[in-house]
Amino acid sequence: MSNILAITGRPNVGKSTLFNRLVERKKAIMDNESGVTRDRHYGFGQWNGKYFTIIDTGGYVTGSDDIFEEAIRDQVKLALDEASVILFMVDCKDGLTDMDQDFANILRELKKPVFVVANKADNPDLIMMANEFYGLGLESDIHVIASTSGAGTGDLLDAVVEHFEDSDLENPEEGIPRISILGRPNAGKSSYLNALLGKDRSIVTDIAGTTRDAINTRYKLFGKDFILTDTAGIRKKSKVKEDIEFYSVLRAIQSLQDSDVCIVMIDAERGFEAQDMNIITLADKYKKGIMIMVNKWDLIEDKTTNTAENFRKDIQEKLGNPLSYIPIIFTSVTQKQRIFQAIELAIEVNTNRTRRITTSELNDAMLAEIEHYPPPALKGKHIKIKYVTQLPTRTPSFAFFCNLPQYIKEPYERFLTNKLRSHFDFRGVPIKIYFRQK
């Protein structure tokens, strides 16, 4: 599955305004790093129960006199190549411009669903202006919106998500965990895949080509079946050196959408970095199993008994409490240290992700906890949680039935989540709880 929505168009038409409206939390996923990564915007959205990643290509277009040269730079092209649906934004106030026309010509070549989005249609006169964009000659309806107020965006999304796959789509190789290995360039991902495979693999995929599906390899190890989604080697073929970082992020987004468990690989010498956090945040939102593999552990000198523990604490501090469920393993791919344990851990995480707890087990454990520490009364009203059940969702989620669900606040929700985790093994798995009226 790859549900990626790219928003593109010339500067100032309102791309980032729409982006901010569509992502779940404002700029939830942002790459703050200096150097090759600049103004990149990745976000997570959901609509009609479908999940998708949104890319604002705007960041690459600004800051140049020769804007159009800039606009079609490789990074924009890459983003558009990876996208499954493209929103091509134009501006009703400015009308159809030459640059819009140039953009349209490029988009036509891509042979992908392109939606022409006529923005800034703040009033009926401007709405009428939108007809002008039929002149672009794209085979698309014109979707008229106003990003600042949100008008029209609901209808637009209805149409967009039609093109997206169901996140809960049954997997053709049912039950076999799909594991992806993500992480910054040079962390050791390809070496790891090679180590597991026992031989060097060369992946011949032309970056300029159109299909770049992940290569899925099915394994049998310790009597367990799993599929490794191999994306690591592909970027090596990139002809565009400065795109490596960017491309690896796009790959990671695709790859994680397509897997059950993500192994986020970190270079021990570099430590835990902002981009690792971005990937983990995204994986958590997609409700994937997650584990961290601190690789190149052999390069850490003068290790004492506390070194790993301190390293682990440091990562956990950066992750913060809501992500403390993520297990961390220390490996050396070159020394073949714990490389199979890492896979075993990933399989265990997958098992936890599919864990089903019976309602009676849940109530036995949780009602006792609740009785011991009931939700605090609010505005003089007592909140009574009557029972809890696991929902039939693909990833663990639980409904707590109570008299006044709206009165339960975040700290108590966190308390219940922590208690669920202490009674049942959901290591490596995001869990979600809901409060419902009873």
Residue ranges binding ligand GDP (CB under 6 A): 11-17, 58, 119-120, 122, 146-148, 183, 185-191, 232, 295-296, 298-299, 332-334
* Residues sharing a CB contact under 8 Å with residue 363, sequence separation 6 or more, in sequence order: 387, 388
E-assigned strands of 205-345? 215-221, 224-230, 261-267, 289-295, 328-330
- Give DSSP secondary structure letters for 376-410: PPBTTB---EEEEEE-S-SS-EEEEEES-GGG--H
Residue 16 labelled as part of a binding site: yes
Nearer to ligand GDP, 17 or 350 (CB): 17
Residue 108 labelled as part of a binding site: no
C-alpha distances out from residue 4 to 51, 86, 106, 210, Å? 9, 9, 19, 15
Q: Please say whether the beta carbons of 76 and 11 come within 8 A.
A: no
Residue 298 labelled as part of a binding site: yes
Instruction: Work out how close the CB of 229 gets to ligand GDP at its nearest, in angstroms, rounded to a whole number.
Output: 14
Nearer to ligand GDP, 251 or 353 (CB): 251
Residue 380 labelled as part of a binding site: no
Nearer to ligand GDP, 14 or 177 (CB): 14
Instruction: Work out how close the CB of 59 gets to ligand GDP at its nearest, in angstroms, rounded to a whole number.
Output: 8
Instruction: Work out how close the CB of 313 gets to ligand GDP at its nearest, in angstroms, rounded to a whole number.
Output: 22
C-alpha distances out from residue 380 to 154, 201, 376, 377, 409, Å? 39, 66, 10, 6, 15
The terminus-to-terminus CA distance of the chain in angstroms comes to 37
Instruction: Work out how close the CB of 261 gets to ligand GDP at its nearest, in angstroms, rounded to a whole number.
Output: 18
Nearer to ligand GDP, 271 or 376 (CB): 271
C-alpha dihedral (429, 430, 435, 436), degrees to nearest 10: -70
Instruction: Work out how close the CB of 7 gets to ligand GDP at its nearest, in angstroms, rounded to a whole number.
Output: 8
Residue 320 labelled as part of a binding site: no
Residue 58 labelled as part of a binding site: yes
Nearer to ligand GDP, 33 or 122 (CB): 122
Q: Please say whether the beta carbons of 44 and 285 come within 8 A.
A: yes
Residue 11 labelled as part of a binding site: yes
* Residues sharing a CB contact under 8 Å with residue 146, sequence separation 6 or more, in sequence order: 119, 120, 121, 122, 152
Residue 47 labelled as part of a binding site: no
Instruction: Work out how close the CB of 237 gets to ligand GDP at its nearest, in angstroms, rounded to a whole number.
Output: 12
Nearer to ligand GDP, 118 or 349 (CB): 118
Annotated binding-site positions for GTP: 9-16, 56-60, 119-122, 183-190, 230-234, 295-298
